[in-house]
Structure 1
């Protein structure tokens, strides 16, 4: 799979390296899409922009850590755009600190989480959440990050 990740920076907060974002998104997509070429846009924003997007597209007040917008284009268009991921840099930074995680580990989790949403994974229903969390955990562990869900057993048991 050939992956093109367009990264737009609209935040003055500390950010991961673009190569890391591409690596994390690639890890989430590899082997999970049949497309030969995939394009993803990533926008790194501050709280005001994320709060506006969250209210406009989800009807929820306030900010959140990551939003995904699948392209859902008709297949006859044959355009490789998978969709857009928006990550709120200040929220990710604060969450990492609160959760006792490295910044890198939490950024990786958010990038992977957003990419999986583009593939149609969701966590609204409990069973879907278990599948998505197991997949996120497996991808993160393959990248040498710890399980993000503080489970008492290895994350593989969810699969």
Structure 2
């Protein structure tokens, strides 16, 4: 078994314990999704850096952060924060329990699969990937699909019937 240097592992904080009731072994899933995502590259070709922390939180907390930092007074599925000093690796990923569960249910997919997708999405964002323009969005979606395939998660961009 290949052992990854634990200093590269993000701190996983389960702030809302409901995550544990919905996603079995949630910390293990988060670590696997993070490791799979970090095999990718930034748009410029550099290795992706691990986030400093991944926080499994709630809509209430994410709504407050989204309002304070983005001027949007509503919850969202995942927020990413760059580190304060430029050039330092890391950053932070925060996920909202209720929104992630609601989206997974609407898409008829397990919460664990949606969570893995959002972790990949967050890590790619921290690495400089974006989805504001069609070409960028397509590249980011392809990278997310590649990451999830290594975890045995189906393409998140194909609707489930």
Q: Any conservation in 1 of the 2:40–2:48 contact (CA below 8 Å)? A: no
How far residue 29 of structure 1 moved from its aligned partner, in angstroms, is 1.1
Give the aligned partner of residue 53 of structure 1.
Answer: 65
How far residue 35 of structure 1 moved from its aligned partner, in angstroms, is 6.2
Give the aligned partner of residue 103 of structure 1.
Answer: 111
Q: Any conservation in 2 of the 1:47–1:63 contact (CA below 8 Å)? A: yes
* CA-to-aligned-CA distance 1:72-92 (integer Å, 9 cap, x gap): 6344xxx5x410000111211
Structure 2 segments unaligned to the other structure (5+ residues): none
Give the aligned partner of residue 127 of structure 1.
Answer: 135
Cα separation, 1, equivalents of 2:49 and 2:81: 18
Q: Any conservation in 1 of the 2:66–2:74 contact (CA below 8 Å)? A: yes
Structure 1 segments unaligned to the other structure (5+ residues): 152-159
Between Structure 1 and Structure 2, which shows a larger proportion of strand residues? 1
Matched residue pairs, number?
A: 147
Cα separation, 1, equivalents of 2:152 and 2:95: 22
Distance 1:11 1:102, change over 3 A: same
| Pairing 1:34-73 to 2, within 5 Å after superposition | 38-71=50-83, 73=85
Distance 1:39 1:130, change over 3 A: closer
Runs of 4+, deviation exceeding 4 Å: 33-39
TM-score by length of 1: 0.82
Question: RMSD in angstroms over aligned alpha carbons?
Answer: 2.2
Give the aligned partner of residue 9 of structure 2.
Answer: 4
TM-score by length of 2: 0.81
Cα separation, 2, equivalents of 1:39 and 1:103: 21
